[in-house]
Amino acid sequence: MSKTLVIVESPAKAKTISKILGKGYVVKASAGHVRDLPQKEMGVDVNDNFAPKYVIIPKKEDIVKELHDSAEGAIAVYLAPDPDREGEAIAWHLSQLLEVPPERLKRIEFHEITQDAVRRAVDNPRPIDINRVDAQQARRVLDRLVGYKISPLLWKKIQRGLSAGRVQSVALRLICDRNREIDAFVSKEYWTLAVNLHKEGQKRAFSAELVKWAGKKPDLNTQADTDAIQQALVGAPFTVQSVKNKERKKEPSAPFITSTLQREAANALNFTVKRTMKIAQELYEGIELGSEGPVGLITYMRTDSTRIAQEAQEACAAFIEEQYGKKYLPAQARQGKAAKGGQDAHEAIRPTTVGRDPEQLKAHLSAEQYKLYRLIWQRFVGSQMAAQTLATRTVETEASGHQKALFRASDTQTVFDGYTRVYQEAEQEADDSQRLPELTQGETLVFQEFLPKQHFTQPPAYYSEATLVKTLEELGIGRPSTYAPTISTVVDRGYVVKTGRSLTPTPLGLTVSDQLTQYFPDIVDTDFTAQMESQLDAIERGERPWTVTLGEFYEPFLKTLTAATEEMDRVLIVTDYLCEKCGLPMVQKSSKYGNFLGCSGYPACKHTHPLTKENIPAPKDRPAPGESCTECGHEPMIIAFGPYGEYLKCPQCSAKRRLLKKTGVICPKCHTGDLVERKSRFGRFFYGCSTYPTCDFSLWQKPLPKPCPKCNGIVVLKPRKRTEDIASCTQCDFIDEAVTFMGESEVQPA
């Protein structure tokens, strides 16, 4: 070939790097891992120092052959997978397969895909880091030992198709424990008491809350307690006791690491963890920017460090001074660090070039890419800006009845906006505190009214993807690259369902978690799992052999497994659903066709009912008014449920066809078809004409059946994160915040 071969992981990255390197280089992609442990056997010889048996991944043979052939005639081969443990392992596996002499084989890595970074990497190759490879091997073998030893036991004792995992089982236990905590929670009543006061001669009132009664914190458990204090204060004078002014600075958050990006994208953009990582990967690998060609827009997105390169810091400081002025620069540049227990292998997630403003790139990005890039850009720029300055005034007012009462009011104002000019976190509350009048100590205030309020203590919230990631990170469980697949696994296995943002366990998930907690307490123990992560880090640092770590784990694990196999009884997953025929509880079972409900009275009662992929009972067969069979003309057809969801079935000739969910809106383009719910190849719902491909009209938002009252155009439902959904016209400026002219069933998002 007489050229240098560069091997990266993804085709998109290959395209970007190929344009950067130009002639003299051939860039090819491995499409991820090319070798792994075999699918249908454990592939680990526990009697031979845990020797792994690696095989070429099915469907990767052609890729391996192409890479092998390209490497044979290459001047040199640069292995350039991602700069993490998995990427290092891919490079090592490729080195084993390509049969290239060591002097022609080089490992390079780059944390951003830009002209300078790629050229610098090519000029500074290094050997494969075998310690990092060993850490990945240890994790892979460890997970295989846990999965292949425990999963068959779960199949035998609970049901087919189950799995256990070192990180996923801990995540499942956290979700199950939180669910039980919520179920066991007993709400308690409590009250607060405030007063509305105003200055003499003024009408504008402000509220102050009771903080002390008779020199102590008030104990307001009932309405009677609150009424008693109000009675005691009737006619009492209210005098200003103190006015305190305090100024404080609020520092910006550090640039994103993987976990904080996942959490903030969930809170601000309503992205799942998996979706966030997919879009971030696209931004990292390269986006076509017109004449510039493909450009990597962000640095590597799997990192646990908030560290920033000095060059990037200096460029950001110059950008801030030019765009916002010198007063927006901090006195000293901030420098980040690795998270607790983190590896500090990469920089924080930041834009590769701070001068690429999100608005300038909007035309080149998809809507989701734009939103995530803007979030990353704003967080990074904000992190390098001056602190926000807030002025807080606290006023304490005393009321003297037969006991003294102290009421407190506060007022917070922004003196200098600082970093909030660019970035404000989704959960950060806006400055909407009340404005207090000018008050002086000893001033008498006019009482206006009491404001008693009843409250009830609230249970902890269900885990969302964002809060689960935060908890896993705080406990030191898993690593940035594991959070997305972990959450996907517990959902895909039917252990957990997502209701809105909440992650709630299914009966199957509760059963599996209970059995693992009882018989494999170490596997689902948060401290044990976090300690194992620390040992993997020690392997990467070259401080301990990976086989020793596995040996220390395997011997006690094998004893636990043997005891569990003998002691664990067959478990029925009893659900809350009752059998239609005999009234007994239904139990969840499995077959080669999937999960289903069966009567607990079997074999006396053999009634069954199918389950959806989310492990909830499938809807019953029912008539589909207006739908006639295209084969025999019979009407109506029946809406039935099958392995792929609901479909139409003719009760007379058994003909079948796809069920289109109509919205009740006629297509505005062809005026013939109905707008129906469809799903894109990426799994996202949209709404298109039922006559497609004859008519290609489509909408991302759900169309509502009643037209716009202003222009008769289509009104769509636009979900919002923290407030009620709104109805918005696609053709004019009509917006209905309350969605008042539609029925309840019409405003539910798809």
Q: What is the token pair recorded at 312?
A: 């990037």
- Could you tell me the sign of the dihedral formed by the alpha carbons of 271, 274, 277, 282, in that order? negative
495 has catalytic annotation: no
> What is the strand order of the sheet 656-658 is part of?
622-624, 637-642, 645-649, 656-658
β-sheet with 4-8: strand ranges across: 25-29, 4-8, 77-79, 105-107
DSSP letter for each residue of 488-520: HHHHHTTSEEEETTEEEE-HHHHHHHHHHHHH-
**Is 155 in contact with 145 (CB distance < 8 Å)?**
no
SS3 state at 546: helix
Q: Where are the beta strands (DSSP E) in 61-205?
A: 77-79, 105-107, 189-198
Q: Which of 25, 78, 284, 300 is catalytic?
A: 300
Q: Which residue has the tokens 């609230």?
A: 458
Euclidean distance between CA atoms 44 and 53, whole angstroms = 6
Identify the burial level of 685 via C-beta atoms within 10 angstroms of its C-beta, where 0-12 means exposed, 13-18 middle and 19 or more buried: middle
d(CA 558, CA 127): 37
Residue 662 half-sphere exposure toward CB, CA atoms < 13 A: 13
Nearest to 248 by CA among 410, 97, 398, 356: 410
Q: How deeply is 277 buried, as exposed, middle or buried, from its count of CB atoms within 10 A (0-12, 13-18, 19+)?
A: buried
591-630 burial, b if ≥16 CB within 10 A, otherwise e?
Answer: eeeebbbbbbbeeebeeebbbeeebeebeeeeebeebebe
Residue 109's identity, in one-letter code, is E
Q: Which residues are catalytic?
A: 300
